[in-house]
Structure 1
Amino acid sequence: MFKKISLFAIHSGLIRWLYYLVRFYFLFCRLSVTNDASLLQRLSRHEPLIVSIWHQRILAILPYSPRFAHYSPSVMISRSRDGELVAQLFSCMNFHPVRGSSSRGGKGALSSLIQELQEHPAVVHVVDGPRGPRGIIKPGLITLGQRSGAPIFPISASASRAWILNSWDRCLIPKPFSTIHISWGAPIFIPPDLDPENFERMRLDVQNRMLSLQQEQDARLGWYNLFE
Protein backbone atom coordinates (compact mmCIF):
# COMPACT_ATOMS: atom_id res chain seq x y z
CA MET A 1 0.00 0.00 0.00
CA PHE A 2 2.74 2.49 0.95
CA LYS A 3 4.58 1.70 -2.29
CA LYS A 4 1.49 2.54 -4.34
CA ILE A 5 0.91 5.74 -2.41
CA SER A 6 4.52 6.90 -2.76
CA LEU A 7 4.56 6.10 -6.49
CA PHE A 8 1.33 8.03 -6.97
CA ALA A 9 2.74 11.00 -5.06
CA ILE A 10 5.97 10.97 -7.10
CA HIS A 11 4.28 10.80 -10.50
CA SER A 12 1.27 13.03 -9.83
CA GLY A 13 3.06 16.17 -8.64
CA LEU A 14 1.85 15.88 -5.06
CA ILE A 15 5.31 16.29 -3.49
CA ARG A 16 5.11 20.08 -3.60
CA TRP A 17 1.78 19.95 -1.78
CA LEU A 18 3.37 17.60 0.75
CA TYR A 19 6.15 20.16 1.19
CA TYR A 20 3.62 22.91 1.93
CA LEU A 21 1.85 20.60 4.36
CA VAL A 22 5.13 19.94 6.19
CA ARG A 23 5.88 23.67 6.31
CA PHE A 24 2.41 24.30 7.76
CA TYR A 25 2.87 21.53 10.34
CA PHE A 26 6.11 23.03 11.62
CA LEU A 27 4.53 26.46 12.02
CA PHE A 28 3.26 25.01 15.30
CA CYS A 29 6.82 24.40 16.55
CA ARG A 30 9.43 26.82 17.85
CA LEU A 31 13.09 26.86 16.90
CA SER A 32 16.09 27.37 19.20
CA VAL A 33 19.48 27.56 17.46
CA THR A 34 22.93 27.75 19.08
CA ASN A 35 26.58 27.85 17.97
CA ASP A 36 25.94 28.74 14.32
CA ALA A 37 28.20 31.83 14.12
CA SER A 38 31.24 30.06 12.64
CA LEU A 39 29.17 28.27 10.02
CA LEU A 40 27.30 31.42 8.95
CA GLN A 41 30.58 33.31 8.61
CA ARG A 42 31.96 30.67 6.24
CA LEU A 43 28.75 30.67 4.20
CA SER A 44 28.79 34.49 3.94
CA ARG A 45 32.31 34.24 2.49
CA HIS A 46 31.21 31.39 0.17
CA GLU A 47 33.81 29.09 1.68
CA PRO A 48 32.88 25.39 1.27
CA LEU A 49 31.71 23.27 4.19
CA ILE A 50 30.12 19.88 4.88
CA VAL A 51 27.10 19.52 7.16
CA SER A 52 26.93 16.10 8.83
CA ILE A 53 23.71 14.80 10.37
CA TRP A 54 22.27 11.53 11.64
CA HIS A 55 19.50 9.92 9.57
CA GLN A 56 17.41 9.84 12.74
CA ARG A 57 17.17 13.64 12.84
CA ILE A 58 16.38 14.55 9.21
CA LEU A 59 12.74 15.40 9.91
CA ALA A 60 13.68 17.46 12.96
CA ILE A 61 15.81 19.87 10.89
CA LEU A 62 13.22 20.44 8.13
CA PRO A 63 11.80 23.65 9.66
CA TYR A 64 15.37 24.97 9.98
CA SER A 65 16.40 24.11 6.40
CA PRO A 66 14.76 27.11 4.62
CA ARG A 67 17.32 29.40 6.26
CA PHE A 68 19.91 27.90 3.89
CA ALA A 69 17.82 27.78 0.70
CA HIS A 70 19.65 30.85 -0.62
CA TYR A 71 22.88 28.82 -0.82
CA SER A 72 21.25 25.89 -2.68
CA PRO A 73 23.10 23.19 -0.70
CA SER A 74 23.72 19.78 -2.24
CA VAL A 75 22.59 16.62 -0.46
CA MET A 76 23.26 12.95 -1.24
CA ILE A 77 20.02 10.96 -1.52
CA SER A 78 19.66 7.27 -2.33
CA ARG A 79 18.48 6.00 -5.73
CA SER A 80 15.61 4.06 -4.18
CA ARG A 81 11.91 4.82 -4.71
CA ASP A 82 11.73 6.43 -1.28
CA GLY A 83 14.84 8.38 -2.19
CA GLU A 84 13.04 9.83 -5.21
CA LEU A 85 10.28 11.11 -2.95
CA VAL A 86 12.85 12.66 -0.58
CA ALA A 87 14.79 14.14 -3.51
CA GLN A 88 11.69 15.91 -4.81
CA LEU A 89 10.91 17.17 -1.33
CA PHE A 90 14.41 18.62 -0.92
CA SER A 91 14.18 20.19 -4.38
CA CYS A 92 11.15 22.13 -3.13
CA MET A 93 13.44 23.61 -0.45
CA ASN A 94 15.96 24.70 -3.12
CA PHE A 95 18.39 21.96 -2.13
CA HIS A 96 20.22 20.15 -4.93
CA PRO A 97 19.82 16.35 -4.71
CA VAL A 98 22.78 14.19 -5.77
CA ARG A 99 21.59 10.62 -6.22
CA GLY A 100 23.59 7.79 -4.70
CA SER A 101 24.33 6.05 -1.40
CA SER A 102 26.82 3.74 0.24
CA SER A 103 25.06 0.77 -1.39
CA ARG A 104 24.19 2.17 -4.83
CA GLY A 105 26.24 4.67 -6.83
CA GLY A 106 28.12 5.95 -3.82
CA LYS A 107 31.49 6.56 -5.48
CA GLY A 108 29.97 8.52 -8.34
CA ALA A 109 27.78 10.54 -6.00
CA LEU A 110 30.77 11.30 -3.77
CA SER A 111 32.72 12.64 -6.73
CA SER A 112 29.68 14.72 -7.70
CA LEU A 113 29.49 16.20 -4.20
CA ILE A 114 33.13 17.26 -4.41
CA GLN A 115 32.39 19.00 -7.71
CA GLU A 116 29.28 20.56 -6.20
CA LEU A 117 31.41 22.22 -3.52
CA GLN A 118 33.11 24.22 -6.26
CA GLU A 119 29.77 25.84 -7.14
CA HIS A 120 27.77 25.65 -3.92
CA PRO A 121 29.22 26.51 -0.51
CA ALA A 122 27.52 23.69 1.39
CA VAL A 123 26.99 19.94 1.12
CA VAL A 124 24.73 17.99 3.49
CA HIS A 125 25.80 14.43 4.29
CA VAL A 126 23.55 11.96 6.15
CA VAL A 127 26.31 9.97 7.76
CA ASP A 128 24.60 6.66 8.61
CA GLY A 129 21.95 6.48 5.88
CA PRO A 130 20.06 5.17 4.13
CA ARG A 131 20.07 1.75 5.83
CA GLY A 132 22.31 2.11 8.86
CA PRO A 133 23.42 0.71 11.15
CA ARG A 134 22.18 3.50 13.37
CA GLY A 135 24.86 5.72 14.86
CA ILE A 136 27.72 4.40 12.69
CA ILE A 137 29.39 6.88 10.33
CA LYS A 138 30.06 5.55 6.84
CA PRO A 139 33.58 6.15 5.45
CA GLY A 140 32.21 8.46 2.74
CA LEU A 141 32.05 11.43 5.10
CA ILE A 142 35.76 11.18 5.90
CA THR A 143 36.66 10.70 2.24
CA LEU A 144 34.59 13.75 1.31
CA GLY A 145 36.39 15.84 3.91
CA GLN A 146 39.77 14.53 2.73
CA ARG A 147 39.30 15.12 -0.96
CA SER A 148 37.47 18.45 -0.74
CA GLY A 149 39.47 20.06 2.07
CA ALA A 150 36.17 21.44 3.43
CA PRO A 151 35.56 21.29 7.21
CA ILE A 152 32.81 19.10 8.60
CA PHE A 153 30.19 20.88 10.74
CA PRO A 154 28.18 18.37 12.83
CA ILE A 155 24.59 19.39 13.52
CA SER A 156 22.41 18.02 16.28
CA ALA A 157 18.62 18.34 16.44
CA SER A 158 16.19 17.37 19.16
CA ALA A 159 12.78 18.40 20.46
CA SER A 160 11.12 19.01 23.79
CA ARG A 161 8.28 16.67 22.78
CA ALA A 162 8.41 14.10 19.99
CA TRP A 163 7.33 10.76 18.60
CA ILE A 164 9.98 8.05 18.10
CA LEU A 165 9.22 5.76 15.15
CA ASN A 166 9.81 2.02 15.28
CA SER A 167 12.14 2.18 12.28
CA TRP A 168 15.79 1.11 11.87
CA ASP A 169 16.95 4.65 12.70
CA ARG A 170 14.34 5.36 15.43
CA CYS A 171 13.37 8.54 13.61
CA LEU A 172 12.45 11.48 15.85
CA ILE A 173 9.40 13.54 14.81
CA PRO A 174 8.77 16.74 16.79
CA LYS A 175 5.22 17.11 18.08
CA PRO A 176 3.14 20.25 17.51
CA PHE A 177 3.86 23.07 19.98
CA SER A 178 7.25 21.56 20.87
CA THR A 179 10.53 23.45 20.75
CA ILE A 180 13.06 22.11 18.25
CA HIS A 181 16.62 22.60 19.46
CA ILE A 182 19.38 22.92 16.85
CA SER A 183 23.04 23.01 17.85
CA TRP A 184 26.25 23.06 15.81
CA GLY A 185 29.49 21.39 16.79
CA ALA A 186 32.96 22.82 16.20
CA PRO A 187 34.28 22.36 12.64
CA ILE A 188 36.37 19.24 11.99
CA PHE A 189 39.14 19.30 9.40
CA ILE A 190 40.22 15.98 7.87
CA PRO A 191 43.93 15.65 6.95
CA PRO A 192 44.39 14.97 3.21
CA ASP A 193 46.84 12.10 3.75
CA LEU A 194 45.71 9.27 6.00
CA ASP A 195 46.87 5.66 6.00
CA PRO A 196 44.12 3.05 6.63
CA GLU A 197 44.78 2.94 10.37
CA ASN A 198 44.60 6.70 10.83
CA PHE A 199 41.62 6.92 8.49
CA GLU A 200 39.67 4.56 10.77
CA ARG A 201 40.88 6.44 13.84
CA MET A 202 39.60 9.69 12.32
CA ARG A 203 36.27 8.09 11.38
CA LEU A 204 35.78 6.91 14.97
CA ASP A 205 36.78 10.30 16.35
CA VAL A 206 34.21 12.12 14.18
CA GLN A 207 31.60 9.49 15.04
CA ASN A 208 32.19 9.87 18.78
CA ARG A 209 32.08 13.66 18.55
CA MET A 210 28.79 13.56 16.66
CA LEU A 211 27.26 11.07 19.09
CA SER A 212 28.39 13.11 22.10
CA LEU A 213 26.98 16.32 20.64
CA GLN A 214 23.61 14.71 19.95
CA GLN A 215 23.35 12.68 23.14
CA GLU A 216 24.26 15.63 25.35
CA GLN A 217 21.52 17.66 23.71
CA ASP A 218 19.04 14.78 24.04
CA ALA A 219 19.86 14.31 27.73
CA ARG A 220 19.05 17.96 28.46
CA LEU A 221 15.59 17.32 26.98
CA GLY A 222 15.01 13.98 28.68
CA TRP A 223 15.77 11.67 25.73
CA TYR A 224 18.09 8.72 26.33
CA ASN A 225 19.45 5.69 24.45
CA LEU A 226 18.05 6.63 21.04
CA PHE A 227 21.20 5.35 19.33
CA GLU A 228 21.36 1.99 21.11
Structure 2
Amino acid sequence: MGKPRLSKRIFRSKAFQHIVGYLVHKTLSFVCYSNKLDKDHQLQLEASEAHEPVIFAIWHGQHFLMPYVYPRHKRKNMVALVSKSKDAEFNAIVLNLAGYDVVRGSGGRIREATLKKGGVSAILELLGFLKTGKNVCVIADISKGEPRESGKGIVTLAKLSGRPIVPLAIATSRFKVIEGSWDKTTINLPFGKSCVRVGNPVFVPGDSSGEELDMLRKQVDAELNNVTREAYEVVGHSI
Protein backbone atom coordinates (compact mmCIF):
# COMPACT_ATOMS: atom_id res chain seq x y z
CA MET A 1 0.00 0.00 0.00
CA GLY A 2 1.44 3.38 -1.03
CA LYS A 3 1.82 6.47 1.07
CA PRO A 4 -1.23 8.74 1.44
CA ARG A 5 -1.38 11.65 -0.97
CA LEU A 6 0.48 14.79 0.12
CA SER A 7 -2.77 16.75 0.48
CA LYS A 8 -4.19 14.11 2.85
CA ARG A 9 -0.98 14.03 4.91
CA ILE A 10 -1.09 17.82 5.25
CA PHE A 11 -4.78 17.77 6.16
CA ARG A 12 -4.17 15.21 8.90
CA SER A 13 -1.00 16.79 10.25
CA LYS A 14 -1.26 18.13 13.79
CA ALA A 15 0.16 21.51 12.81
CA PHE A 16 -2.46 22.02 10.08
CA GLN A 17 -5.30 20.82 12.32
CA HIS A 18 -4.28 23.19 15.13
CA ILE A 19 -4.05 26.16 12.76
CA VAL A 20 -7.49 25.43 11.29
CA GLY A 21 -8.91 24.66 14.74
CA TYR A 22 -7.67 28.01 16.03
CA LEU A 23 -9.21 29.86 13.07
CA VAL A 24 -12.54 28.02 13.51
CA HIS A 25 -12.51 28.82 17.24
CA LYS A 26 -11.94 32.51 16.59
CA THR A 27 -14.63 32.58 13.89
CA LEU A 28 -17.25 30.85 16.03
CA SER A 29 -16.41 33.02 19.01
CA PHE A 30 -16.88 36.12 16.84
CA VAL A 31 -20.19 34.81 15.45
CA CYS A 32 -21.47 34.10 18.96
CA TYR A 33 -20.57 37.49 20.38
CA SER A 34 -21.72 39.46 17.33
CA ASN A 35 -25.28 38.17 17.74
CA LYS A 36 -27.51 40.01 20.22
CA LEU A 37 -28.57 37.64 22.99
CA ASP A 38 -32.21 37.04 23.82
CA LYS A 39 -33.21 38.78 27.08
CA ASP A 40 -33.93 35.45 28.79
CA HIS A 41 -30.46 34.06 28.00
CA GLN A 42 -29.16 34.11 31.57
CA LEU A 43 -32.40 32.81 33.09
CA GLN A 44 -32.34 29.88 30.67
CA LEU A 45 -28.79 28.92 31.65
CA GLU A 46 -29.54 29.27 35.35
CA ALA A 47 -32.53 26.93 35.02
CA SER A 48 -30.26 23.89 34.77
CA GLU A 49 -27.98 24.85 37.65
CA ALA A 50 -30.29 23.41 40.31
CA HIS A 51 -29.81 19.95 38.77
CA GLU A 52 -26.04 20.04 38.20
CA PRO A 53 -24.05 18.10 37.30
CA VAL A 54 -26.14 17.39 34.20
CA ILE A 55 -25.82 15.77 30.79
CA PHE A 56 -26.51 18.45 28.18
CA ALA A 57 -28.04 17.07 24.97
CA ILE A 58 -27.86 18.84 21.62
CA TRP A 59 -28.55 17.82 18.02
CA HIS A 60 -25.98 17.26 15.29
CA GLY A 61 -25.84 20.19 12.90
CA GLN A 62 -27.07 22.59 15.59
CA HIS A 63 -24.03 22.33 17.82
CA PHE A 64 -21.41 24.73 16.47
CA LEU A 65 -22.00 27.57 18.94
CA MET A 66 -22.48 25.24 21.90
CA PRO A 67 -18.96 25.84 23.29
CA TYR A 68 -19.65 29.58 23.59
CA VAL A 69 -23.04 29.49 25.34
CA TYR A 70 -21.52 29.80 28.81
CA PRO A 71 -19.08 32.56 29.83
CA ARG A 72 -15.49 31.35 29.78
CA HIS A 73 -15.07 31.16 33.56
CA LYS A 74 -17.87 28.55 33.71
CA ARG A 75 -16.50 26.39 30.92
CA LYS A 76 -13.93 24.80 33.21
CA ASN A 77 -16.90 22.90 34.64
CA MET A 78 -17.79 21.44 31.21
CA VAL A 79 -16.73 18.26 29.42
CA ALA A 80 -17.66 17.48 25.81
CA LEU A 81 -17.80 14.09 24.10
CA VAL A 82 -16.20 14.10 20.63
CA SER A 83 -15.97 11.28 18.11
CA LYS A 84 -12.69 9.37 17.82
CA SER A 85 -12.65 9.84 14.04
CA LYS A 86 -9.75 11.77 12.54
CA ASP A 87 -12.17 14.24 10.97
CA ALA A 88 -13.42 15.14 14.47
CA GLU A 89 -9.95 16.23 15.57
CA PHE A 90 -10.87 19.80 14.61
CA ASN A 91 -13.87 19.66 16.96
CA ALA A 92 -11.68 18.55 19.85
CA ILE A 93 -9.18 21.35 19.20
CA VAL A 94 -11.93 23.98 19.03
CA LEU A 95 -13.49 22.75 22.27
CA ASN A 96 -10.12 22.76 24.05
CA LEU A 97 -9.45 26.31 22.88
CA ALA A 98 -12.91 27.34 24.09
CA GLY A 99 -12.04 26.04 27.56
CA TYR A 100 -13.69 22.60 27.64
CA ASP A 101 -12.27 19.25 28.67
CA VAL A 102 -12.74 16.68 25.90
CA VAL A 103 -13.45 12.95 25.98
CA ARG A 104 -13.06 11.01 22.72
CA GLY A 105 -15.58 8.30 21.88
CA SER A 106 -18.91 7.47 20.23
CA GLY A 107 -21.68 8.58 22.56
CA GLY A 108 -24.65 7.49 20.50
CA ARG A 109 -23.61 3.86 20.23
CA ILE A 110 -22.70 3.29 23.88
CA ARG A 111 -24.35 0.16 25.24
CA GLU A 112 -24.51 -0.81 28.89
CA ALA A 113 -23.49 -4.36 27.94
CA THR A 114 -20.18 -3.18 26.46
CA LEU A 115 -19.02 -2.06 29.89
CA LYS A 116 -18.96 -5.71 30.98
CA LYS A 117 -16.41 -6.39 28.25
CA GLY A 118 -14.04 -3.78 29.71
CA GLY A 119 -14.49 -1.44 26.77
CA VAL A 120 -15.98 1.98 26.16
CA SER A 121 -13.41 4.03 28.02
CA ALA A 122 -15.34 7.14 26.93
CA ILE A 123 -18.41 6.44 29.03
CA LEU A 124 -16.22 5.51 32.00
CA GLU A 125 -14.42 8.84 31.66
CA LEU A 126 -17.72 10.70 31.43
CA LEU A 127 -19.03 8.91 34.51
CA GLY A 128 -15.88 9.95 36.34
CA PHE A 129 -16.30 13.59 35.35
CA LEU A 130 -19.97 13.61 36.40
CA LYS A 131 -18.96 12.12 39.76
CA THR A 132 -16.58 15.05 40.31
CA GLY A 133 -19.39 17.54 39.62
CA LYS A 134 -18.62 18.48 36.02
CA ASN A 135 -21.37 18.84 33.41
CA VAL A 136 -21.15 16.71 30.28
CA CYS A 137 -22.17 17.81 26.76
CA VAL A 138 -23.24 15.09 24.32
CA ILE A 139 -24.57 15.26 20.75
CA ALA A 140 -27.59 13.02 21.13
CA ASP A 141 -28.11 11.66 17.62
CA ILE A 142 -25.68 9.28 15.94
CA SER A 143 -23.44 10.54 13.14
CA LYS A 144 -24.78 9.41 9.75
CA GLY A 145 -27.73 7.80 11.55
CA GLU A 146 -31.30 8.99 11.76
CA PRO A 147 -31.22 12.77 12.32
CA ARG A 148 -33.03 14.12 15.38
CA GLU A 149 -33.26 10.65 16.90
CA SER A 150 -31.02 10.14 19.90
CA GLY A 151 -29.01 6.98 20.32
CA LYS A 152 -29.12 4.77 23.39
CA GLY A 153 -25.83 6.17 24.64
CA ILE A 154 -27.19 9.28 26.29
CA VAL A 155 -29.92 7.49 28.28
CA THR A 156 -27.44 4.77 29.24
CA LEU A 157 -25.08 7.42 30.59
CA ALA A 158 -27.94 9.01 32.55
CA LYS A 159 -28.99 5.63 33.95
CA LEU A 160 -25.49 4.71 35.09
CA SER A 161 -24.66 8.14 36.52
CA GLY A 162 -28.01 9.06 38.08
CA ARG A 163 -27.69 12.52 36.50
CA PRO A 164 -30.47 14.13 34.42
CA ILE A 165 -30.38 14.86 30.71
CA VAL A 166 -30.97 18.55 29.94
CA PRO A 167 -31.90 19.43 26.32
CA LEU A 168 -30.04 22.50 25.01
CA ALA A 169 -30.70 24.47 21.82
CA ILE A 170 -28.96 27.47 20.26
CA ALA A 171 -30.30 29.43 17.30
CA THR A 172 -29.28 32.57 15.41
CA SER A 173 -31.50 34.70 13.20
CA ARG A 174 -28.95 34.57 10.37
CA PHE A 175 -27.78 31.15 9.22
CA LYS A 176 -27.09 28.94 6.23
CA VAL A 177 -28.39 25.38 6.03
CA ILE A 178 -26.35 22.85 4.06
CA GLU A 179 -29.31 21.06 2.50
CA GLY A 180 -27.31 18.13 1.17
CA SER A 181 -25.97 17.16 4.59
CA TRP A 182 -27.57 14.24 6.44
CA ASP A 183 -28.31 16.39 9.52
CA LYS A 184 -29.17 19.65 7.69
CA THR A 185 -26.00 21.22 9.12
CA THR A 186 -26.68 24.81 10.12
CA ILE A 187 -23.90 27.38 9.80
CA ASN A 188 -24.54 30.29 12.14
CA LEU A 189 -23.80 33.75 10.74
CA PRO A 190 -22.85 36.99 12.55
CA PHE A 191 -24.69 40.28 13.11
CA GLY A 192 -28.13 39.02 14.03
CA LYS A 193 -29.97 37.80 17.12
CA SER A 194 -29.32 34.64 19.10
CA CYS A 195 -31.34 32.56 21.49
CA VAL A 196 -30.52 29.79 23.94
CA ARG A 197 -33.23 27.52 25.29
CA VAL A 198 -32.90 24.87 27.99
CA GLY A 199 -35.52 22.12 28.21
CA ASN A 200 -37.04 20.17 31.06
CA PRO A 201 -34.63 17.66 32.60
CA VAL A 202 -35.20 14.00 31.79
CA PHE A 203 -34.40 11.65 34.67
CA VAL A 204 -33.49 8.03 33.96
CA PRO A 205 -33.97 5.67 36.94
CA GLY A 206 -31.14 3.26 37.64
CA ASP A 207 -33.47 0.26 37.34
CA SER A 208 -34.91 1.24 33.94
CA SER A 209 -35.59 -1.71 31.63
CA GLY A 210 -34.73 -1.72 27.93
CA GLU A 211 -38.30 -0.77 27.04
CA GLU A 212 -38.31 2.06 29.59
CA LEU A 213 -34.98 3.34 28.25
CA ASP A 214 -36.45 3.50 24.77
CA MET A 215 -39.44 5.50 26.07
CA LEU A 216 -37.12 7.90 27.89
CA ARG A 217 -34.96 8.24 24.78
CA LYS A 218 -38.06 9.33 22.85
CA GLN A 219 -38.83 11.80 25.64
CA VAL A 220 -35.35 13.30 25.18
CA ASP A 221 -36.06 13.60 21.44
CA ALA A 222 -39.37 15.38 22.09
CA GLU A 223 -37.87 17.80 24.63
CA LEU A 224 -34.89 18.57 22.41
CA ASN A 225 -37.10 19.16 19.38
CA ASN A 226 -39.32 21.46 21.45
CA VAL A 227 -36.48 23.68 22.67
CA THR A 228 -34.88 23.75 19.21
CA ARG A 229 -38.17 24.88 17.67
CA GLU A 230 -38.68 27.46 20.43
CA ALA A 231 -35.17 28.90 20.02
CA TYR A 232 -35.72 29.40 16.29
CA GLU A 233 -39.14 30.97 16.86
CA VAL A 234 -37.63 33.52 19.26
CA VAL A 235 -35.20 34.69 16.53
CA GLY A 236 -37.95 34.82 13.91
CA HIS A 237 -37.83 31.45 12.15
CA SER A 238 -39.87 28.26 12.05
CA ILE A 239 -38.32 24.83 11.51
Report the TM-score range of the alignment, normalised by the length of the smaller protein.
Answer: 0.7 to 0.9
- What displacement does 1:120 show? 4.2
| Correspondence for 1:35 among 44, 49, 57 | 44
Does 1:118 find its partner at 2:131?
yes
Runs of 5+ unmatched residues, structure 2: 1-5
Residue pairs, 1:131-210, within 5 angstroms: 131-166=144-179, 167-210=181-224
1:23 aligned onto 2:37: no
For residues 2 and 139 of structure 1, the distance between their equivalents in structure 2, rounded to whole angstroms, comes to: 37
Identity of aligned residues (%): 24
Q: How far did residue 62 of structure 1 move?
A: 4.0
Partner of 2:122: helix, strand, or coil? helix
Residue 3 (structure 2) aligns with: none
Q: 2:201 & 2:7 partners in 1: Cα distance?
A: 39
1:7 aligns with 2:12: yes
TM-score of the superposition, structure 2-length normalised?
Answer: 0.80
Larger Rg: 2
The CA deviation at 1:65 is 4.1
Indicate the residue corresponding to 1:222 in structure 2.
237
Q: Distance in 2 between matches of 1:6 and 1:174?
A: 24
| One-letter amino acid of the counterpart of residue 171, structure 1 | T
Alpha-carbon deviation of 1:171? 1.5
Distance across 2 between alignment mates of 1:2 and 1:86: 20
State how many pairs are aligned.
219
User: What amino acid maps onto 1:77 in structure 2?
Assistant: V
Please state whether the residue corresponding to 2:12 is helix, strand or coil: helix
Query: What is the DSSP-based 3-state SS (H/G/I as helix, E as strand, rest coil) of the residue aligned with 2:126?
Result: helix
Out of 100, 116, 126, the position equivalent to 1:95 is 100
1:174–1:180: 8 Å Cα contact kept in structure 2?
Answer: no
The normalised TM-score by structure 1 is 0.84
Q: Which of 67, 80, 83 pairs up with 1:78?
A: 83
Shift of 1:5: 6.4
3-state secondary structure, aligned to 2:62: helix
Mean alpha-carbon deviation: is it higher for 204-213 or for 11-20? 11-20
Is this contact kept in 1: 2:172–2:194, CA < 8 A?
yes
